[in-house]
């Protein structure tokens, strides 16, 4: 028997709209909302290569919470778990464009691809140059030879940080696109789901999982993963995920990586840190150095419980961008000297 879903909301149909208002207010003037469902930085310098991110709502603070210093210039925001319309993409893009072209950076989902593409065509008709890099970090979604079928999950945050910093410091769209592609080529993630989240408007859980079951590789919207199994220990689950992630690129001894352990919503920090401990043991055994780690809640699926592990292989250039300070409602970091 399904339990009733408890959420602190007004009319669920107004939740995205009211969330966006609250988000802008939380930025203390550093962002503003457009007439459409889009959030842009209050001040974007002329001649800057623009970075537009975006996607469905319900994953806060992803994407719209990542507008700020060395992060996105604007976000096109969809309704709950649904891509933004071409109209929103177009308006958001126009608002952030400063004459140097725009990089679209978003997760690889059919709906996002189609809507951002239509938006890009509308901009191309007006002579605005747009390049697109899609985040395809989820190794559970498809085998390596079908990289274009992989969806974007928590690796979005690492991409937004690296590419955001690159777009703030490089003069040409070509160069920003090059950095984005390089970062994406070395990025791999995998998640594990423990409990389902729910959709406010329908009040229904996004998937069924028995009380003693977990699903390795489940997507951020409850898409099926690679293995449904009995709940094991943190070390067993971590070993299983790390084996897939490390073998996929593959990551090798001597590599330097950014490590991101992301909470899908309702997992405790205690569990996250226990997993982090095991991840670091495995990386140390393999001779892989962690240049930077982030453990926290950034790419969520409502009250879904579970977490994901992401690794991005770094070189000197990517390290430089990753070490720049980020500042947004959803993520802030100090400069690493």
Partner 1 sequence: MRVDDERAAEMLLAVARAVLDRVDDLTDADLAIGDGDHGIGMRRGFEAVELVLENPPSGIDGVFKAAGMAIMSNTGGAAGAVFGSVFTSGAAAFAAQEEITPEGFVEFLTAAQGAVQRRGGVAEGAKTMLDALAPAARAAAGASDLKTATAAAAEAALQGVEATKAMIATTGKARSLGERSVGHPDPGAISMSIILGAMRDYVAG
Is the Cβ–Cβ distance between 156 and 112 less than 8 Å? no
Binding residue for partner 1, selected from 2, 8, 35, 110, defined by CB under 8 A: 110
Contact stretch for partner 1 (CB under 8 A) within 138-146, 161-169, 178-186, 317-325:
138-146
> Taking CB under 8 A as the rule, does residue 303 contact partner 1?
no
Marked catalytic residue, from 64, 97, 221, 291: 221
Binding residue for partner 1, selected from 70, 108, 115, 326, defined by CB under 8 A: 115
Q: Is 221 a catalytic residue?
A: yes
Beta bridge partners, 296, equal 262
User: What is the C-alpha to C-alpha distance for residues 125 and 207, in angstroms, rounded to an integer?
Assistant: 41
Cβ contacts of 157 within 8 Å, gap of 6 or more: 62, 66, 260, 262, 294, 298, 299, 310, 331
> Taking CB under 8 A as the rule, does residue 84 contact partner 1?
yes
- Kindly state the smallest distance separating residue 203's Cβ from partner 1, in Å: 10
> Taking CB under 8 A as the rule, does residue 306 contact partner 1?
no
Is the Cβ–Cβ distance between 206 and 80 less than 8 Å? no
Pinpoint the alpha helices (H) of the chain. 15-26, 86-96, 110-124, 155-169, 173-185, 234-248, 269-286, 316-322
> Taking CB under 8 A as the rule, does residue 151 contact partner 1?
yes
**Binding-site string for partner 1 from residue 199 to residue 238, where x marks contact by CB under 8 A and - marks none:** x-xx-x-x------------x-xxxxx-------------
Q: Is 64 a catalytic residue?
A: no
Q: Rounding to the nearest 10 degrees, give the CA dihedral for residues 229, 232, 237, 243.
A: -70
Pick 74 or 219: Cβ nearer partner 1: 219
Angle at 252 between CA 249 and CA 255, to 5 degrees: 100
> Taking CB under 8 A as the rule, does residue 296 contact partner 1?
no
Is the Cβ–Cβ distance between 305 and 263 less than 8 Å? no
Residues that bind partner 1 (CB under 8 A): 56, 78-87, 109-111, 114-115, 117-118, 140-142, 149, 151, 199, 201-202, 204, 206, 219, 221-225
């Amino acid at each position: 028997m399904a339990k009733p879903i408890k959420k602190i909301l007004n009319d669920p149909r107004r939740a995205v709209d009211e969330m966006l208002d609250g988000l802008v207010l939380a930025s203390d003037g550093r962002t503003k909302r457009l007439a459409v469902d889009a959030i842009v930085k209050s001040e974007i310098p002329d001649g800057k290569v623009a970075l537009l991110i975006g996607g469905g709502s319900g994953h806060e603070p992803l994407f719209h919470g990542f507008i700020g210093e060395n992060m996105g210039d604007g976000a096109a925001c969809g309704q709950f778990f649904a891509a933004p319309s071409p109209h929103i993409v177009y308006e958001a893009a126009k608002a952030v464009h400063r004459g140097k072209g725009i990089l679209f950076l978003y997760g690889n989902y059919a709906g996002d691809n189609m809507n951002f593409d239509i938006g890009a065509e509308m901009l191309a008709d007006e002579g605005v140059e747009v390049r697109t890099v899609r985040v395809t970090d989820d190794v559970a979604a498809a085998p390596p030879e079908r990289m274009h079928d992989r969806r974007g999950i928590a690796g979005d945050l690492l991409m937004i940080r690296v590419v955001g910093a690159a777009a703030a410091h490089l003069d040409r769209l070509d160069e920003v696109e090059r950095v984005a592609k390089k970062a994406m080529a070395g990025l791999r993630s995998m998640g594990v789901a423990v409990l389902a989240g729910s959709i406010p408007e329908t009040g229904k859980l996004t998937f069924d999982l028995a009380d003693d079951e977990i699903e390795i590789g489940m997507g951020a919207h409850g898409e099926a993963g690679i293995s449904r199994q009995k709940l094991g220990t943190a070390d067993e689950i971590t070993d299983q995920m790390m084996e897939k992630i490390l073998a996929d690129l593959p990551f090798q001894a001597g590599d330097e990586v950014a490590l991101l352990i992301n909470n899908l919503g309702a997992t405790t920090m205690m569990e996250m840190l226990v997993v982090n401990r095991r991840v670091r043991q495995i990386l140390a055994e393999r001779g892989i150095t962690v240049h930077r780690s982030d453990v926290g809640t950034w790419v969520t699926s409502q009250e879904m419980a579970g977490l994901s592990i992401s690794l991005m292989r770094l070189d000197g250039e990517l390290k430089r961008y990753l070490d720049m300070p980020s500042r947004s409602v959803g993520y802030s970091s100090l400069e690493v000297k």
